[in-house]
Amino acid sequence: MSTRPIIVAVDGPAGSGKSSICRKVCAVLDWHYLNTGSLYRGVAVVAQELGFKLTSEADLVTAAKFYAKEANRQDDGRKLIFRDKDLTHHLTTSLTDKASSKIAGIGLIREILLPIQRDMAHACRKKGVLLDGRDIGTVVFPDAECKIFLTANLAERAKRRMLQIKSSQTVDAQGLDEVMLDLEQRDLQDGSRGIAPLKKAVDAIELDTTHLSESETVQAMLDIIRSHTKD
Ligand code: DC
């Protein structure tokens, strides 16, 4: 069944399964997938690579400018090349998790990354595009035709994040308790910041995936998207 191409905004807390689910949904629809968290993570990695202070807002803004000009995102944001160096293995470390959440609270950096996200989505919208993040339905594409808010309880999200860490090229290892604490802190930081906080858009459909398998979640998302693309 072909599905009319639209922009779909998917938001939700860390570890809610957004990236793996969205990637699979896009594979079924043959749409583009844009993981916006990878941009915030990319800025954090560039800051580390350049030896910048992760506590200095000025350093982080400078890192964002270098990222915007020189970074090369590949493989739906899973790969990062900067100045010919492959920095992929730093994208999912716990240091990058924490730094990206701090970076996401800096207004100047959000201003730098906002047009990049919109331009990337507009460049491929003819085919259909699904973006995931924290503020897609509220700030990046407030007029998106379809908005989905993916959630799951904290314990389930921590379990999923552990699996993701194990299967990624990350350079550090964390235990379940540590992962759960990190997620809780990131939820708090992402949801309480003054600018573009993690928030369900009023017109978003909430999908709680705590008790759903990955394939059930993919099917539920496809059903929601198709219900929005009926002519
Ligand atoms: O989805 P993620 O965990 O890879 O995102 C990394 C950080 O970036 C996360 O702490 C929240 C932030 N982020 C954001 O503020 N807005 C977005 N659209 C995407 C991510």
pLDDT at residue 21, as a whole number: 96
110-126 pLDDT, tens digit each:
999 999 999 999 999 89
Of 20, 36, 168, 182, best ligand 1 pocket probe by most atoms within 8 Å of the beta carbon: 36
**Burial of 126 per CB tally in 10 Å (0-12, 13-18, 19+):** exposed
Check: CB of residue 159 under 8 Å from CB of residue 37: no
Evaluate whether 186 touches 14 at the Cβ level (below 8 Å). yes
What is the DSSP code (8-state) at residue 22? H
Q: Which atom of ligand 1 is nearest to 101's Cα?
A: 10
Pick from 19, 24, 21, 22: nearest CA to 8: 22
* 19-30 pLDDT per residue, tens: 999 999 999 999
Whether 230 has a pLDDT exceeding 60, the answer reads yes
Residue 222: is it exposed, middle or buried by C-beta count within 10 angstroms (0-12/13-18/19+)? middle
Nearest CA to ligand 1 atom 6: 37
User: Across residues 173-185, what is the average pLDDT?
Assistant: 87
State pLDDT tens for residues 49-94.
999 999 999 999 999 999 999 999 999 899 999 999 999 999 989 8
Instruction: Note the pLDDT of residue 9.
Output: 98
Q: Give this prediction's pTM.
A: 0.93
- The CA dihedral of 154, 157, 158, 160, to the nearest 10 degrees, is 160
Strands 71-74, 79-82: parallel, antiparallel or unpaired by DSSP?
Answer: antiparallel
Alpha carbon distance 203, 27 (integer Å):
25
DSSP string, 164-195: HHHHS--S----HHHHHHHHHHHHHHHHH-SS
Residues with CB under 6 A from ligand 1: 14, 36-37, 40-41, 100-101, 104, 133-136, 186, 190
pLDDT value of residue 67: 98
